[in-house]
Amino acid sequence: MTWTNQLRDSQPTSTSFRDFTQSLPPFFFSSNFSATKHSCLSPLTATMAAAAAIFLFLLISSAAAAPEPRPQTFIVHVSQSHKPALFSSHRDWYASILPHPSALLYTYSHAAAGFSASLTADQASRLLRTPGILSVVPDQIRHLHTTHTPSFLGLSPSSPLSLNSANGDGVIIGVLDTGIWPLHPSFDDAAFPAAADKIPAKWRGVCESGKDFPAAACNRKLIGARAFYKGYESYRGRPIDETKESKSPKDTEGHGTHTASTAGGSVVTNASLFGYAAGDARGLAPSAWVAAYKICWSPGCFDSDILAAFDQAVDDGVDVISLSVGGSYPPPYDSDSIAIGAFAAAKKGIVVSCSAGNSGPGAYTATNIAPWILTVGASTVDRDFPADVVLGDGSVHRGVSLYGGDGLPEGELLPLVYSADCGSRYCYSGNLDPAKVKGKIVLCDRGGNARVEKGASVKLAGGAGMIMANTDLEGDELLADAHLIPATMVGATEGDKIRAYIQSAASPSATIQFRGTVIGEDTPPAPKVASFSSRGPNRVTPEILKPDVIAPGVNILAGWTGAAAPSDLEIDPRRVTFNIISGTSMSCPHVSGLAALLKGAHPDWSPAAIKSAMITTATTFDNSGENINDLATGKGTTPFVYGAGHVVPNAAVSPGLVYDLNTTDYVSFLCSSGYSASRIAVIFGEPIASDVCEHAPALTAGPGDLNYPSFSVVFKPKSDVVTYKRVVKNVGSSVDAVYEIKVNAPVNVDVQVSPTKLVFSKESSSLAYEITFSSSVVGFDNGAASQSFGFVEWSDGVHKVRSPIAVQWRQGGSVESI
């Protein structure tokens, strides 16, 4: 699990075939990988490489006298037109080419074309040679990457978006996560009409029952729930242990209940966590229906299960899919099950919102970056939970905490020690010396283990309290936690000061003052970008700017399961109705709920139009009127970190212009990115003509020519001019609107737009323009920057349609460090 409460510095390793194959690029198992400008492998070489990789593993295993590896899960993409006529169904065909019909786990027909099966390495290699097989990809494990946030976003019952969308009434949000706690008040249906015909006829979903999840668990709010576990059980090699995990849609982790209630939870009065963040809790789209698809289990979320859930959600009839799950790196789109499933959803008019990941602040860390996905980073809100450290010298150091028990002795300072002097810098459990810790407050460094676990370790050693200090990696980002001991978190700057005090004072001492919940003027300016939020540039297609936007993802209150503690630690006996956690997992459902509102307000808009509305109306300013800062650096940030900026829901409902896209546009994009027809067929889940790229409308400037609402420009040696074409559609109330351009050019770049004025009419509701970027950097000399940023903005005097510009100068295949 990678919502930020559970981050670890290291992961266990093993020598299984799964680990071996996952260390290889996914295209090693594709018969379609072709030589392009992005690759040095021919189709034959790629296929031989796949076979060689499998043979090498078997050879190494044999040499080591290891037992034959047990079957593993593979996802197999097929050309459905190759089904022999003698088979009545594709499922029968798939079963016939497998060693045994029982090896078949799932068949995919809506989110992809193909199946997943339990195979040995040798069987997977031989399957590649079967006519009609496009690729064989090893199953991968992915990981899970509010009372006040609607108000912070400007949403209220009388706000423009709420009124225009009826709070999401009529929209179905599908949440792919850890399941759902059906008895939670966020999914109460009292506010929903009792008439059976209120649920739309298009809904084809069901409420799957289980030992601990009766069919009656669903209602007029929670209209569907399913569980997908065949990939997980194949990984285990045995059935799920139902004494430890629920095989039903029931959420025993908490994450799925939190994300579902954030996106579409009903209004719940008097919500809080131990009295913190008290108020009325509501999802972004409280009148929307919710359907839960359980895809994540104790080790993580398996691609075979994720793709099966996409397949089912598309067929069930959802309008929005919310997915707060991702991998450690973004693979090519035809090897990315989330990208493949999301594309199938987009073709059906379904908006797919995904978390960017929690691997910041490093560059190139964003995942879920296909252009048909709405990729969301995380930011703060103007609500704080101050728990300040007061040192023996009288200095006060800002911290945050959600500790809900008895405080430290009032008016008394306790001895203060640094954990590195007591046996464990990171306060690992069992490693602190009780003789040095007992009765004292311990300063622990962040990292290495779960944040709440550090306090538990101090408590186990007899400590009285804990101060957790960020390192330079996290900067001054503050994440509040429900600690088991009086404890607080301080930023890197304050942590350095406290360490210095411990080293210099003869008898260092401290206390922690818990000040509850603070909202508004007494909090730091917001939003700020969370340091953990994954960033661009886009690793797969640098000409597409990712992430798209940021949204609230730090210290978010939402529903929680009754089966797990707020700290997610087994030693924690507490149970709560609401919990406060952080991560891009929390920002994603905010945008999913916003997408549901926009879908309700504009049911005829495409997923691309809804995304465009969010991007072009986003803000780059905080609530003090200053530029949004990055918590990792304490300084201003860029579109590679926050995309277009922070979402502004009430502006998105009336964006003025939208940049729209359709299936043909994505074909052209993939062709310009070097994908062959057979690789495109994997993504499309349907047969593609072998000469499709010869007939698709050309993107003359490459992938960046896609009609995307932002601009990511890559200058390379001997390529100092880039021209893109864009088409905008007038969706404002005035059919004869006139828009004029404003340009804020990046440093060292000249930007020219033609025409500079767009005159719309009833007959001309969509108009095109060209934008040319010219670099003034000559020969990548060392006096220039490697990145530069700006924006263009179309305005009719009422609307401001803003598109960010991110520029890179690249030497060969990597960013030029100049």
| Nearest-angstrom CA–CA distance, 418 and 416 | 7
Cα 648 from chain centroid (whole Å): 19
Contact call for residues 405 and 436 (beta carbons, < 8 A): no
Contact call for residues 687 and 79 (beta carbons, < 8 A): yes
- State how far the alpha carbon of 131 is from the alpha carbons of 50, 83, 107, 300, 309, in Å: 17, 9, 18, 33, 27
Residues of the chain with pLDDT under 70: 1-69, 146-148, 194-197, 778-785, 812-818
DSSP letter assigned to residue 713: E
Residues in the chain: 818
Q: How big, in percent rounded to 5, are the helix, strand and coil portions of the chain?
A: 25, 25, 50
Contacts of 594 (CB under 8 A, 6+ apart): 153, 284, 285, 551, 614, 647, 649, 652
Please write down the long-range contacts of 94-97, taking CB distance under 8 Å and 24 or more positions apart.
Answer: 97/127, 97/130
Count the Cβ atoms, other than its own, within 10 Å of residue 562: 15
SS3 529: strand
DSSP letter assigned to residue 700: T
User: Which bin fits 455, alpha (ψ -120 to 50), beta or left (φ > 0)?
Assistant: alpha
Contact call for residues 486 and 408 (beta carbons, < 8 A): yes
- State how far the alpha carbon of 360 is from the alpha carbons of 484, 533, 631, 635, in Å: 27, 5, 11, 15
| Nearest-angstrom CA–CA distance, 138 and 150 | 41
pLDDT of residue 570: 87
Could you give the residue numbers annotated as active site? 177, 255, 585
In the chain the first and final C-alpha atoms are separated, in Å, by 37
| Nearest-angstrom CA–CA distance, 494 and 386 | 14
pLDDT of residue 698: 81
Residue with tokens 């739309």: 200
pLDDT of residue 37: 32
- State how far the alpha carbon of 314 is from the alpha carbons of 27, 116, 231, 265, 308, in Å: 26, 18, 19, 21, 10
| Nearest-angstrom CA–CA distance, 476 and 38 | 38
For 589, the token pair is 């459902």
For 669, the token pair is 């994009």
pLDDT of residue 65: 46
Helix (H), strand (E) at residue 268 = strand 268-273
Beta strands in 576-639 (DSSP E): 578-581, 629-630, 635-636
Helices (H), 166-221: none
Residue with tokens 């108009």: 767
Burial (CB < 10 A; 0-12, 13-18, 19+), residue 496, is: middle
| Nearest-angstrom CA–CA distance, 675 and 36 | 8
User: ω into residue 286 within 30 of 0, thus cis?
Assistant: no
- Positive or negative CA dihedral for 178, 192, 209, 321? negative
Q: 557: number of CA atoms within 13 Å, CB side?
A: 30
Question: What's the whole-model pTM score?
Answer: 0.89
pLDDT of residue 676: 95
pLDDT of residue 521: 77
